[in-house]
Amino acid sequence: MLLTLDDESATLELGKNISKYCPDKAFTIHLEGELGAGKTTLTRGLLNGLGHQHHVKSPTYTLVEHYHLNDRDIYHFDLYRLADPEELDYIGLDDYLGNGALCLIEWPAQGGNVLPSPDLIIALQYQPTGRHVSLTAVSGLAQDLCRQLSQDYSSQSPA
Position 99 in a domain: yes
Sign of the dihedral defined by the CA atoms of residues 59, 64, 65, 70, in that order: positive
Q: State the Cα–Cα distance between residues 91 and 111, nearest whole angstrom.
A: 12
Q: Are 146 and 152 in contact (CB under 8 A)?
A: no
Which phi and psi angles does 38 have, rounded to 5°?
115, 15
Q: State the Cα–Cα distance between residues 2 and 17, nearest whole angstrom.
A: 15
Q: State the Cα–Cα distance between residues 69 and 90, nearest whole angstrom.
A: 26
Phi-psi region of 51 (alpha: psi -120 to 50; beta: other; left: phi over 0): left
The domain tally of the chain equals 1
Tell me which residue range forms the domain holding 78: 2-144
Which phi and psi angles does 120 have, rounded to 5°?
-140, 135
Position 156 in a domain: no
Q: State the Cα–Cα distance between residues 45 and 107, nearest whole angstrom.
A: 18
Query: Model confidence over 8-33: pLDDT tens digits?
Result: 999 999 999 999 999 989 999 999 99
Query: Model confidence over 92-135: pLDDT tens digits?
Result: 888 888 788 999 999 999 998 888 899 999 999 988 888 899 99
144 — pLDDT class (breaks 50, 70, 90): very high
Position 126 in a domain: yes
Position 132 in a domain: yes
Position 140 in a domain: yes
Q: State the Cα–Cα distance between residues 39 and 33, nearest whole angstrom.
A: 7
Position 153 in a domain: no
Position 149 in a domain: no
The domain that holds 21 is classified in CATH as 3.40.50.300
Position 90 in a domain: yes
